[in-house]
Chains A and B, each alone.
Chain A
Amino acid sequence: MSTIPIHAPQRLLRFRAADGFLISALLVTNASSSPADMLQIPILLQVPGMIGHFLARGTPRLLPHALLAHGFHSLSINTRLASAGQMTSHGIFDDTIHDLDAAIELLVQQGFQKIFLLGYSLGASMVVHWAAHRQHPRVRGLILEGVGFSLPDSHRTRWEKWGSSPTYTEVYERAKAILGADPYHAPDDEVFVVYQASGSSREPIHSEIYTYKTWWFMIGPEAHQAMTHRHIATVTVPVLLLRGAHDELVESWEPEALARIVHAAGRANIRVRQIPGAGHDCMENPEAMVQEIVQMMSERPAAFDDEENGNKSAR
């Protein structure tokens, strides 16, 4: 039986986004330094993925402790899309910007000087969405783990691959009928289940659950804010894209294509790293994953300097 606590030292916090949504968060800090020095240590704001939360297995659960071992702090938040959020009408992708706003405001209020944002899978799309619309001098970089080129396209492709029931088109038509001309303010909404969404059976492991409203803003063909490729060029801080070399959900071309978009916009502050021995969850190879993040969060990320000098890393 393991000893307590899961992360030490930790603080379980609750605070509200501007629109009133209640956010739970776990703050894990390196308390070995003086209070003044502590605030100079970089902190990672971690945003979990689909139906995830800050205690979910894999990256959300493991990364804070791994980073603490390297001296870094972290704040892991449950956004409105955490856990069952996408099965309730309030889990609107576009509104997650308020959750990240609030988390950053909290970190700034606490005095942290160097903030990095890490999003995992769906969380990575949220992070890009935030950074495309916001800038804050204390936000120093983004780490995007398992991010797709476009969340809607990834899902449509996957549903078609497995012959989902209902099909993507059927859901779209039904969503239009239920939500009408103004989906965000639509009074009606319903839960629906998509069978064979991520595998060949109708069993729960291959099924997905949404409401039409949450699907519309996250997966639907008009979910423009969740289309990472549309926004990443406007991100001004350095970006690290991490993909597990065996990721079955995000294909290898996707992070490369995102990086090309940024390069085409005249910026070199983005790099892609494939994590060997890992699937969608890069913490399946914690050493390689943490090494990349530690390098990113350190004062001078050498690989970025190399790339900025035109010497793209060989790794």
Chain B
Amino acid sequence: MDVEDSSGTVVSFAFDQHQVDALLYHPLTARAHMEQKPAILRLHGILGNLLDETEHDLPAVLAAAGYSCLTMNTLLANLGLFFGFGIFDDAMAQIAAGCQFLRQLGFEQIVVAGHGLGGCMAIRYGALVSDSATPSDIMGIIAVATPYSMPETIRRRWGRFGSEPSYDEVYRRAQRLFKPRPEERATHDEIIAIKRARGDTARPEHTDIYTLKTWWALAGPEAEGAEVYRHIGQIRLPLLLVHGAQDDLIERSEFAALSRLASQSGNPHVTAIELDANHTFDGKHEELGQRMIRWLTERYG
């Protein structure tokens, strides 16, 4: 039997009365290393977690080059979107706690990186940090396979496959929870399964699952936190955007528009690269890692 031994260590840190789980790679303790090289805080995609394939391979590549990685499970990890507690904006404080955890380990520089939904979170967090008057040790943002706007991407995808229920129908149901009309009785949160959300069958792999609350915060038309285009221009940190040319979820035009917005906002440190990869960068994690390492090395040594 072939057994793969991860070099990572499962760790946890406290946040808001509970423990956040994370996978720490290459926990070097040499003082000089921690001062000179940033640690990479990695954020998963939709339904992802610290055991994901994308989270599994890439940190090992980065760690081999001396970049320690912490892949954390946010509120949106695992089943967070399904059971109501995975609220996009609430994850920002969790990311801050992840950064604080890295500081307590001794790291003095942090780069926040995310894939898909994680890219949305990384950019939102980067904008918040850039907007703060307080000096920050967040040194850069990496966003891989990131949509121009998560709500718009989801609405377009649902429309393309003829989802059941439709985007507008879900919006009307969610409005009864968040903005009931005077004649409507307010409803409670509940789970919704959307068939034909990501493919042309009713099969599970083409089905999206949310609750009305998690959908509202991530995919609804008023989910400003997940509208990446609103925030990317506020980032004043070095920014690396990576797109997979074979990505069937994120269009190249989205990547180009985000790159343009970031550059036109006056941020002189925007890098945009495209690799021959699909959305999850299957089989391309080594190449992705090497491109990240080159970008990191050019900026941080």
Q: A189-B203, A204-B211 are in contact. Are A51 and B4 (CB under 8 A)?
A: no
Tell yes or no: A177 within 8 A of B by CB. no
Tell yes or no: B23 within 8 A of A by CB. yes
B4 and A204 contact, CB distance less than 8 A: no
A106 and B78 contact, CB distance less than 8 A: no
Which of A84, A109, A191: most chain B Cβ within 10 A?
A: A191
A15 and B1 contact, CB distance less than 8 A: yes
- Provide the bound-state CA to CA distance between A4 and B20, in Å: 12
CB contact list, A69-105 vs B, under 8 A: 78, 83-84, 87-89, 102, 105
Partner-binding segment picked from A195-203, A254-262, A295-303:
A195-203
Return the chain B residue nearest A187 by Cβ.
B203
The answer, among B13, B27, B193, B202, for a CB contact under 8 Å with A1, is B13
Tell yes or no: B286 within 8 A of A by CB. no
Tell yes or no: A264 within 8 A of B by CB. no
The answer, among A51, A83, A89, for a CB contact under 8 Å with B49, is A83
Q: Which residues of B contact A174 (CB under 8 A)?
A: none
- Provide the bound-state CA to CA distance between A84 and B104, in Å: 33
Q: A204-B83, A207-B190, A209-B193 are in contact. Are A14 and B24 (CB under 8 A)?
A: no
The answer, among B2, B14, B84, for a CB contact under 8 Å with A203, is B84
- Provide the bound-state CA to CA distance between A218 and B210, in Å: 23
Q: Which residues of A contact B297 (CB under 8 A)?
A: none
CB contact list, B184-198 vs A, under 8 A: 188-193, 195
A55 and B10 contact, CB distance less than 8 A: yes
Tell yes or no: B19 within 8 A of A by CB. yes
CB contact list, A15-64 vs B, under 8 A: 15-16, 24, 26, 51, 53, 55
Return the chain B residue nearest A11 by Cβ.
B5
- Provide the bound-state CA to CA distance between A84 and B191, in Å: 14
Tell yes or no: A190 within 8 A of B by CB. yes
A102 and B188 contact, CB distance less than 8 A: no
- Provide the bound-state CA to CA distance between A28 and B27, in Å: 19
For chain B, what secondary structure do more than half of its interface residues adopt (helix, strand, loop), or is it mixed?
mixed
The answer, among B5, B9, B207, for a CB contact under 8 Å with A5, is B9
CB contact list, B76-126 vs A, under 8 A: 78-79, 82-84, 100-101, 104-105
Q: A1-B104, A6-B12, A87-B204 are in contact. Are A15 and B2 (CB under 8 A)?
A: yes
Q: Number of residues in B with C-beta < 8 Å to the partner?
A: 45
Q: A24-B51, A204-B190 are in contact. Are A191 and B2 (CB under 8 A)?
A: no
B2 and A2 contact, CB distance less than 8 A: no
B4 and A202 contact, CB distance less than 8 A: no
A13 and B193 contact, CB distance less than 8 A: no
Q: Which residues of A contact B21 (CB under 8 A)?
A: 6, 55
The answer, among B12, B23, B47, B104, for a CB contact under 8 Å with A12, is B23
Tell yes or no: B6 within 8 A of A by CB. yes
Q: Which residues of A contact B56 (CB under 8 A)?
A: 14
Q: A6-B12, A202-B190, A204-B83 are in contact. Are A14 and B6 (CB under 8 A)?
A: yes
Q: Which residues of A contact B23 (CB under 8 A)?
A: 12
Tell yes or no: B205 within 8 A of A by CB. yes
Q: A2-B12, A53-B78, A203-B190 are in contact. Are A88 and B204 (CB under 8 A)?
A: yes
**Nearest 9 A/B pairs, CB to CB:** A4-B11, A12-B6, A204-B84, A14-B4, A204-B83, A191-B207, A5-B9, A202-B190, A191-B193
Residues of B bordering A, CB below 8 Å: 1-6, 8-14, 19, 21, 23-24, 27, 47, 49, 51, 56, 78-79, 82-84, 100-101, 104-105, 188-193, 195, 202-205, 207, 209, 211
Given contacts A1-B101, A13-B6, 16 further A-B contacts (CB under 8 A): A2-B12, A4-B24, A5-B11, A6-B12, A11-B5, A14-B56, A15-B1, A51-B79, A88-B204, A105-B1, A190-B203, A192-B193, A201-B188, A203-B190, A204-B190, A207-B191
What are 28 A-B contacts defined by CB distance under 8 Å?
Answer: A1-B101, A2-B13, A4-B24, A4-B27, A5-B9, A5-B11, A6-B21, A11-B6, A12-B9, A13-B5, A14-B6, A16-B2, A26-B10, A51-B79, A55-B10, A83-B49, A87-B82, A89-B203, A105-B1, A106-B3, A109-B1, A190-B202, A191-B207, A191-B209, A201-B188, A207-B190, A207-B191, A209-B209
